[in-house]
Amino acid sequence: VQLQASGGGLVQTGGSLRLSCAASPRTFSSYVMGWFRQAPGKERRFVAAIDYRDSATVYADSVKGRFTISRDNGRNTVLLQMDSLRPEDTAAYYCAAISTTKWRWVRYADKYDRWGQGTLVTVSS
């Protein structure tokens, strides 16, 4: 069971990036997929999550209206479209999976079962 995140890079303030997380079918089906980020010297923080069953979504207040999470169940992929990026969005971004039975815990990193490696996003001012 693996998660593979990609799509990070360097972008100017106001720019856009799209992150992608590919998962094995066993991971993707019946799981909530989430994105977290961790800036240097700071704790890992919730960004967004999407349910498998009905594509319900939830966002951190800091990214609401700027980021969009989506999933392609046929390709076992979850996407994070990031628009209007700000320097404070600079961080390593991680995708993770949690059972759909734990939807109420999606904002908590320690509840997630599986993690991908980080992809670095740097927003220059």
DSSP string for the chain: --EEEE--EEEETT--EEEEEEE-HHHHTTEEEEEEEE-TTS--EEEEEE-TTT--EEE-TTTTTTEEEEEETTTTEEEEEE-S--GGG-EEEEEEEEEGGGGGGTT-GGG-SEE---EEEEEE-
Give the mean pLDDT of 65-94.
95
pLDDT digits (tens, 9 = 90+) for 26-54: 766 778 999 999 999 999 999 999 997 77
Tokens at 5, concatenated: 């995140």
What percentage of the chain carries pLDDT values higher than 90?
Answer: 77
Q: First and final CA of the chain: distance in angstroms?
A: 38
User: pLDDT (tens digit, 9 = 90+) per residue, 84-99?
Assistant: 999 999 999 999 999 8
Q: What is d(CA 1, CA 56) in angstroms, rounded to the nearest whole number?
A: 23
